[in-house]
Amino acid sequence: MDKIKFIKTMRTLSSVVFLTTLLILSGCSPAPSNGTNESGSPPTTNPKEADMGSQQDKAQEPDSNLPQELPTPTIQSESGISIPAVQGSYCWSGTCADYVGGMDLLKGHTFVPVLVGEEVSIHMGTDIPPDEWDLFEYIEEQVEPIASTDGTFQLPKEPGTHYYGASVRWTSSQDSQVSLGSTSFAFAVRVVEKK
């Protein structure tokens, strides 16, 4: 009797998981859906909505000074040591990719030794600097924000391996709510004392 109940429960659970996955995946379609096989959105009758749409289209036009290729960060300590980064999630030039985040990005990578207390600078290699910088350190499953508006920060005075993440974003000069592109990455250093 218990075996039959267990089998029915497992079938129900499997069906729920399958349907949930199907619903999630159907929402990930790159093309908008209007309930037909045709692409496109239904026409707007409200003039305010139509005007907002045209403003948003103008704001989303790519900035001529941003490269078409995804920017790659150059991370360097003040003593000139290059620190490699691992690419995370991004949206750039109409393409988006979602990667596992945090310290998981750094599994299997070697860590560059850098001196305690050094300043680290991150440059994105674009003519226009990012409008938003979010830097943080991963400390024992916690995320600690690092204050920075230009991609520079100070390494800790304590030796050890330190894990970092960064997310940067470029916004439209016409509307700061419109993203022109964003990227995230992770890196780690082994902070050592001077010999």
Residue showing tokens 């890196």: 187
- Residue 89, C-beta contacts closer than 8 angstroms, at least 6 positions apart: 96, 97, 98, 99, 101, 183, 184
**What pLDDT score does 103 carry?**
85
pLDDT top residue among 11 and 113: 113
143 within a domain of the structure (yes/no):
yes
Residue 9 lies in a domain: no
Compare 176 and 24 and report the one with higher pLDDT. Answer: 176
- For range 159-177, the mean pLDDT: 94
DSSP secondary structure of 16-55:
HHHHHHHHHHHTT-SS---SSSS-S-PPP--HHHHHHHHH
Is 34 within a domain?
no
Distance CA 146, CA 42 (A): 44
**What is the amino acid identity at position 128?**
I
pLDDT tens digit string along 142-162? 999 999 999 999 999 999 999
Q: What is the pLDDT of residue 140?
A: 86
Q: Are 91 and 62 in contact (CB under 8 A)?
A: no
Judge whether 69 lies within some domain. no
Q: Which of 45-59, 155-169, 180-194 has the lowest mean pLDDT?
A: 45-59
Whether 101 is in a domain gets the answer yes
More confident residue, 61 or 56: 61
Residue predicted with more confidence, 103 or 170: 170
Angstrom distance (rounded) from CA 187 to CA 14? 39
The CATH number that applies at residue 144 is 2.60.40
In a domain, 10, yes or no: no
Q: Domain for residue 105, yes or no?
A: yes
- Assess whether pLDDT exceeds 50 at residue 19: no
Between CA 162 and CA 140 the distance in angstroms is 10
Tell me: pLDDT of 28 over 80: no
What's the domain count of the chain? Answer: 1
Q: Which residue has the higher pLDDT, 154 or 43?
A: 154
pLDDT classification of 141: cutoffs 50, 70, 90: confident
Q: Is the per-residue pLDDT at 41 higher than 80? A: no
pLDDT of 27 over the 90 cut: no
DSSP tag of 9: H
In the chain, the amino acid numbered 61 is E
| Strand-strand pairing, 179-192 and 112-115 | parallel
Distance CA 106, CA 110 (A): 8
Residue 149's domain comprises 74-192
Higher pLDDT: 51 or 101? It is 101
